[in-house]
Structure 1
Amino acid sequence: MITVQNTIHASIDKVWQFWTLPKHIQNWNIAIDTWYTASVENDLKVGGKFKYKMLKKDKSLSFDFEGIYTKIENLSLIEYKLLDNRTGKVSFEKNENQVTITEDFEPVKEDSESMQQEWCQTVIDNFKKYIEAF
């Protein structure tokens, strides 16, 4: 299991909204600056599907990051299962006027765990920069 984490200086309501609304996800869901999130579908409920269309800026490569939500606890927990059956969860821990976000997920076997951890840490760091600048 890989774990990434960051503390966001914002209210839990704002953090939850920016983490789950497609119009915001497209702006922070970036692991490498040569890629971007072209589109987002997000049906935030147990059994609901999510799909992030990832595209290389030169349009030479793309992939879909998609899965199904398996558990939702409003303002505190999101658990999911990806199409390849890997699982993950994102927890939101409120502490006064800040929220610690922790994401745990099963890595793919094709890429090194350290590289996957770096990519996901970059995404969560981008989320922090995006929301705190808003």
Structure 2
Amino acid sequence: METTTQPVTVQATINAPVAEVWNKWNAPEHITQWCFASDDWHAPFSENDLRVGGSIKTTMAAKDGSFSFDFGGTYTEVEENRYLAYTLGDGRKVTVSFEQEGDGTKVVETFDPENTHPVEFQQAGWQAILDNFKKYAESK
């Protein structure tokens, strides 16, 4: 298994304006609709206190009830419609930028990988969640 201390980046361009993408990324009623990597998972709970020092928490769960976990952190930077940074409970850092690109919004998410799973596995999982966000944000 490869371990690294290098941050990992995933990205997608969403065919929607920045303000709409920002809202669907951050509002709990939207987060529960997209924050999972595959159709056999869901996000039954989310709360988001979108301010420096505020926290985000989302429960990700297998639909068959076999496994669930809480994903969350504390915000260190919030620039509305532009940028988020937060620290996960284990100290890893995450940043998300939102950039106008033509008629769409480029979302770039960078995270510190953990040391339990291969980096490629983590990158694929985070990309799958971002791709699910794109699908949701463009369909509503």
What is the TM-score normalised by the length of structure 2?
0.92
Of 30, 34, 38, which residue of structure 2 is paired with 1:24? 30
| Structure 1 spans left out of the alignment, 5+ residues | none
Q: Distance in 2 between matches of 1:99 and 1:61?
A: 33
Aligned residue in 2 for 1:59: 65
Q: Which amino acid aligns with 2:11?
A: Q
Q: Which amino acid aligns with 1:76?
A: R
Q: Which amino acid aligns with 1:95?
A: E
Matched, 1:123 2:129: yes
Aligned residue in 1 for 2:4: none
Q: Distance in 2 between matches of 1:106 and 1:30?
A: 19
Aligned residue in 2 for 1:85: 91
Q: Distance in 1 between matches of 2:130 and 2:61?
A: 19
Aligned residue in 1 for 2:105: 99
Name the % identity.
43
What is the TM-score normalised by the length of structure 1?
0.96
Q: Distance in 1 between matches of 2:46 and 2:90?
A: 19
| Structure 2 spans left out of the alignment, 5+ residues | 1-6
Count of equivalent residues: 134
Tell me if the contact between 1:3 and 1:103 (Cα under 8 Å) persists in the aligned partners.
Answer: yes
In structure 2, the residue corresponding to 1:53 is in which secondary structure? strand
Tell me if the contact between 2:74 and 2:88 (Cα under 8 Å) persists in the aligned partners.
Answer: yes
The 5 Å alignment of 1:3-82 reads 3-82=9-88
Q: Which amino acid aligns with 2:26?
A: T
* Aligned-pair CA distance for 1:55: 1.2
